[in-house]
Amino acid sequence: MLCIKNAKIYTMANEGVIDGDILIKDGKIEEIGKNLVVPLDVKVIDAKGNLVFPGFIDAHTHLGIWEDGMGYEGADGNEETDPITPHLNAIDGINPMDRNFKEALQGGITTVASGPGSANVIGGQFVAIKTWGDRIDDMLIKTIGVKIAFGENPKSAYGKEDKTPQTRMATASLLRETLRKAQFYLEDMIEYEGNEDADRPEYDIKMEALLPVIKKEIPLKAHAHRADDIFTAIRIAKEFGLNLTIDHCTEGHLIVKHLVKENYPVIVGPSLSERSKIELRNLTFETPGILSNAGLKVCLMTDHPVVPIQYLPLCAGLAVKAGMDKTKALEAITINPAQVLGISDRVGSIEVGKDADIVIWDADPLEIQSKVLYTIVNGEVVYKA
């Protein structure tokens, strides 16, 4: 057991900010309150009035799948041999020994969504993982989506090889074709399971990977920077009746009234980067604030390694500087990504019954000079300043 005493607790839940203690047992939050009475053998951390937050969550990274300082040997994010690869699973490419996991913990980030890059029209399966551990199987929370990509990246990956897609039209058509095949595959499976005389459909690993998407168990996770690409992602999701998150959403501030009408979750970033291609010409830290102020559920992301993972709180601070409400910015790296990724039953806020992923800061985490004093994951102290 572990008890954090004398803390200013930012629960990121209905309770708001409370002064008190947190009791942790078996990796879960057991009790929250003032002057908790605990057994003598319980390890106690005196927070001394410092700020306590749930571990921060980065809703879109490539942590561990593009390894630090490795070059080609550590680059496992894009399988540029086939534009349709939904069957690729991020857990088979993530190396938890990558030093960036340690830096995530030092920055107070305890959970991330990590997965394939955006070279392929369908890149593969994104997963939510804890940032502490030495075996990815034990760090895995769940599969949270299938990556799809629009715009420049699929075009540049395959156009230079004189392969499809070379245009945005081809990207959309390949996606539609594959989703329709997946729908047919599901229909055949349902018919087979309901009729003992029917023949089992021939196994197709790509279609199997898309069944959770077609069943609306997980969303399509759409890489889309430019406004027209965002609209294409929405158009196709609506055509097939699928769940969707809009990742990057770089030009979202230009089409805010349409995004409010459609009301899909947006995962904005990486804003702390250069305008390295045409799609990014309207890149600004004002985007998350404009979208949030309009009522959208906004998450922030680093797109690590584009922005190093430990600078997620800095990105939130810069969003506040550019007009985002501070509470909304904190929600964008805690409870919002937990809800959007479908893992809010375990992480994203400090509430009884949730995983004890807790970070003690010496000051406001959105201020650049603030430091993490303790990072706790699953009830264990995994980093101490």
Which CATH number characterizes residue 316's domain?
3.20.20.140
Please write the tens of the pLDDT for every residue from 210-256: 999 999 999 999 999 999 999 999 999 999 999 999 999 999 999 99
pLDDT category of residue 332 using cuts at 50, 70 and 90: very high
- Asked if 306 and 257 sit in the same domain, the reply is yes
Token representation of residue 238 = 């609506």
pTM: 0.97
Residues 222 and 155 in one domain: yes
CATH of the domain at 370: 2.30.40.10
Chain centroid offset of residue 126 CA: 8
Please tell me whether residues 126 and 29 are part of one structural domain. Answer: no
User: What range does the domain containing 369 cover?
Assistant: 1-54+349-384
Same domain for 1 and 115: no
Residues 193, 303: one domain?
A: yes
- As a residue count, the chain comes to 385
Residue 195 pLDDT > 90? no
Mean pLDDT of 63-92: 96
CA atoms within 13 A on the CB side of 91: 16
Same domain, 340 and 379: no
Residues 172 and 315 in one domain: yes
pLDDT for residue 76 is more than 90: yes
One domain for residues 144 and 48: no
Query: Residue 13: helix, strand or coil by DSSP?
Result: coil
**One domain, residues 112 and 240:** yes
Pair of tokens at residue 204? 């197709």
Q: State pLDDT tens for residues 162-182.
A: 999 999 999 999 999 999 999
DSSP assignment letter at 92: G
Distance between CA atoms of 74 and 254, rounded to whole angstroms? 37
Out of 10-24, 87-101, 184-198, 288-302, which region has the weakest mean confidence (pLDDT)? 184-198
For residue 135, name the pLDDT band (cuts at 50, 70, 90): very high
Do residues 161 and 148 share a domain? yes
Name the 3-class secondary structure at 205: helix
DSSP code per residue over 206-275: HHHHHHHHHTTSS-EEEEE-SHHHHHHHHHHHHHHT--EEEEE-TTGGGSHHHHHHH---EEE---SS--
Task: Name the token pair of 321.
Answer: 């500087």
> How much is the pLDDT for 197?
81
Pair 243, 274 in one domain: yes
Which ranges of the chain would DSSP assign to H, the alpha helix? 100-106, 136-139, 152-159, 168-193, 205-214, 227-240, 256-262, 286-293, 312-321, 326-331, 335-340
Name the pLDDT band for 194 (thresholds 50, 70, 90). confident
Say yes or no to pLDDT of 161 above 90: no
For residues 33 and 176, membership in a common domain is answered with no
- Do residues 122 and 83 touch, judged by C-beta distance below 8 A? yes
Give the pLDDT score at 196. 79
- For the chain, the domain total comes to 2
Mean pLDDT of the chain: 97
In the predicted structure, residue 93 carries a pLDDT above the cut 90: yes
Predicted confidence (pLDDT) at residue 160 exceeds the cutoff of 90? no
Query: What does the pLDDT average to over 282-302?
Result: 98
Give 185's pLDDT tier (boundaries 50, 70, 90).
Answer: very high
Residue 97: C-alpha distances to residues 22, 74, 93 (Å): 30, 11, 12
